Amino acid sequence: MPGGRLTQPERRRIAAGLAEGLSYSEIARSLRRPTSTVTREIARNGGPSGYQPDRAHLATERRARRRKPGVPARPARVPAAAHGRDPEAVDELLRGLTALLATTGLPRMMAGVLACLYTSDSGSLTSAELVQRLRVSPASISKAVGYLEEQELIRRERDPRRRRERYVCDNGAWYRALLASARVSAELADLAERGVGVLGPATPGGARLEDMSRIHRHLSHDLLQLTERWRPLLVSEPFLVGEPLLMGEKGRPPAAEAGRGSSAIPSGDGIREAWISR
């Protein structure tokens, strides 16, 4: 199938097909073009009753002259010369990391920001630096970092020398993200449990909410157990000081203090109480 814009002879054949009463798909087949191309062409230029091929061709040329040539989007570039790195290899790493993070459900822009932070030597970048590397608008960066902060994947620090904020992705990002996920799962379990009382346990809706509550209660418990196992690997990291932790007095999550091997699973209220406010 030929690509590119329609030629003037093709537009005249479209007009002839309309005069013969042919359908859009029949006209498209005669031109070996997609039906959508013919449909857009006719709709943009007066419709089936007002289509004039020469005028349509002239209008297209005018639009093409007014339109500035687009600059192809380029992937973000991580400075590579400082350590003798291969710039192409670094770029390929960044693209691959962004794509893989996006497959986990992270929006593409947020994945790009996170990939930039992880591959930067300092682990922190300003909004202006992220705009430069990702070649997007400041508004896009603002939205992305806000989302990542909510997910506990990054944090912001004040740069006293430059009076600007830097966004930081440290070794504890995924640890905090697990804690945030545990909190959300516990809150969902609480809400679903209350919903069972509203709808009634014998109703189909109540039964579904009961299953939802049970699943999220155990999911929250399992996530807390994961953070308990990983905490010893991160206790020396400075980010843990004063950060929101779900740890009890003995260095274990509240669920663990209730008795190892027991079925005690913390509620959303219990997790919120243990979540130390910043």
CATH, residue 46: 1.10.10
Which band of pLDDT confidence, cut at 50, 70 and 90, is reported for residue 175?
Answer: confident
pLDDT digits (tens, 9 = 90+) for 77-98: 555 455 667 777 888 888 888 8
Give tens-digit pLDDT for 223-258: 888 888 877 765 445 444 334 444 333 333 443 333
Whether residues 109 and 161 fall in one domain? yes
pLDDT at residue 4, rounded to an integer: 66
Residue 68 lies in a domain: no
pLDDT band at 200 (very low <50, low <70, confident <90, very high): very high
State residue 83's pLDDT score. 63
- Give domain status of residue 76, yes or no: no
Domain, as residue range, for 39: 8-62
Whether residue 112 lies inside any domain: the answer is: yes
Q: Give the pLDDT confidence score for residue 185 in this predicted structure.
A: 92
String of DSSP letters for 58-117: HHHHHHHHHSPPPPPP-------GGGT--HHHHHHHHHHHHHHHHHTT--HHHHHHHHHH
Judge if 221 and 266 occupy the same domain: yes
Q: Are residues 14 and 37 in the same domain?
A: yes
Residue where one domain finishes, among candidates 168, 185, 200: 168
The residue among 135, 138, 137, 191 whose CA lies nearest residue 165 is 138
In a domain, 248, yes or no: yes
75 in a domain, yes or no? no
